[in-house]
Amino acid sequence: MDVYAGFKWNYYDSKVAKELVAKEGTPEAILYFSKICDKLTECGYWFFLSTLWVSYSGHTDINLWKNLFGSDRNNRKRCIMKPSEL
């Protein structure tokens, strides 16, 4: 499986993932993420954020993106991409 070896399934992350998929490709996705991201696991935070960036980074506040990517949360390097992407 192509995920960080320290990944652990989490109910809240799973629930958020479903909401993000429903909002995928829209500015609502990153706005939703920014409101709920404090409760995500480290891996959930970084992986969802990087996926949102690839999926949709147009027509949203670049300062919001900078703030979210500038987080001091742990495991950024391990969770922001799949091991094969690193």
Q: What is the pLDDT of residues 59-81, one digit of tens each?
A: 788 999 999 999 999 999 888 88
Q: What is the model's pLDDT at position 77?
A: 86
The pair phi, psi for residue 8, each rounded to 5°, is -130, 130
**Domain residue ranges of the chain, discontinuous segments joined by +:** 11-79
Q: Which of 26, 4, 19, 2 is nearest to 76 (CA)?
A: 4
C-alpha angle 14-17-19 in degrees, rounded to nearest 5: 115
Residues 9, 5: Cα–Cα separation, whole Å: 12
Instruction: Calculate Rg over the CA atoms of the chain.
Output: 12
pTM: 0.88
